[in-house]
Amino acid sequence: MPSADLPLDECRVYRPEMPLPVGFAAFWSGTLGEAPHDRTGDGPRYKEVDCGLPHVRTYDVSVPGYGGRPVRGWLHMPSGSTEPLGCVVEFLGYGRGRGLPHEELVWACAGYAHLVMDTRGQGWSAAPGLTADTDPGSAGAVPGFLTRGIESPDTYYYRRVFTDAVRCVEAMREHPEIDPARIVVTGVSQGGGIALAVAGLVPGLAGVMPDVPFLCNIARGARIAGLPPYAEIAAYLRLHHDRTDQVFRTLSYFDAAHHATRATAPALFSIAMTDEICPPSTCFTAYNRYTGPKELRVYEFNGHEGGGAHHRAVQLAWVHDLFSP
């Protein structure tokens, strides 16, 4: 367990004071109210690709994201489906791109549509990506993404990412083969934080599954996590002592623990108690503040890998029950 963090019994009741930043709701309604297509006139595009897998159809997807700029992804669907499908929209961990089209097939094999969203600017770790981030913000950001555009909520990197994620969910709701009432969002680490943000920004989701979520109680994470990505914030503030208040003000608009207070969809969380990348108390902050129906699996002796394949089995059963008539 991280030496600076709390034991499990204290984490279960950990609920620090975290007032919403001024104008939080207006900021996000204004952001999402902007025209998504930015003069392009384009909607989502789907190009079927042949992966040599006769039981799964895969599409190369492009969705107009923040500012109308294209966000790539893979959409997997079971072959031969005749009824509208439940859909799992997945957001990726820090550094990962969407990878190759044949890599993530579990949800399609279970009978659901599955959209894997590329994360803009990322794709250097474990899996490549194709979505560019053309708004880097001011010079001086620490390598990585946590301090990119951190001078203001308007320019911050995750404003673009969270908007991309919302647009992808909207695209799935409009897809003729998908049941718009049966959409679940999920992700591990960064993806879990994005999923929580989407759960707070998009009403009417069927469910949300955040695993070892990043971007929760970010101020605490920056102070106690000795490893990246939270360490990027500490590195930035070692150079810019006078910007501490402004940095944490910006980050507060993107803290998944705030978005969790606005979510209503049923949730299945997982938290790992020896996680040094997303300290468990930060994840519990979001879980304890989550306002919808919720369940939790704790992996007491696991680190940032979380429950892995064991937890995937739990998720498969949970989604099956959620989508069953």
Q: DSSP readout, 214-255?
A: SSSSHHHHHHH--STTHHHHHHHHHH-GGGHHHHHHHHHTT-
Taking only the tens place, the pLDDT of each residue in 178-234 is 999 999 999 999 999 999 999 999 999 999 999 999 999 999 999 999 899 999 999
pLDDT at 313: 98
The whole-number pLDDT of residue 46 equals 97
Could you tell me which of 314, 288, 297 has the C-alpha nearest to residue 17?
288
Q: Which CATH architecture has domain 8-323?
A: 3-Layer(aba) Sandwich (3.40)
Domain ranges of the chain: 8-323
* CB 79, CB 55: distance < 8 Å: yes
Q: What is the pLDDT of residue 164?
A: 98
DSSP string covering 22-36? TTHHHHHHHHHHS-T
CA distance 204 to 278: 28
Stronger pLDDT, 37 or 49, i.e. the higher one: 49
Mean pLDDT, the chain, rounded, equals: 94
| pLDDT single digits (tens) 58-93 | 999 999 999 999 999 999 999 998 899 999 999 999
Q: Note the pLDDT tens digit of each residue in 139-173.
A: 678 889 999 999 999 999 999 999 999 999 999 99
Number of helices (H), then strands (E), belonging to the chain: the values are 11, 9
Q: What is each CA distance from 197 to 193, 194, 283, in whole angstroms?
A: 6, 5, 13
pLDDT (0 to 100) of residue 1:
47
pTM of structure: 0.96
pLDDT of 291 higher than 90: yes
Question: Which pLDDT does position 34 carry in this prediction?
Answer: 81
pLDDT value, residue 262 = 97
- pLDDT value for 300: 96
Residue 140's pLDDT is 74
Active site residues: 189, 275, 304
Residue 128 is predicted with a pLDDT of 82
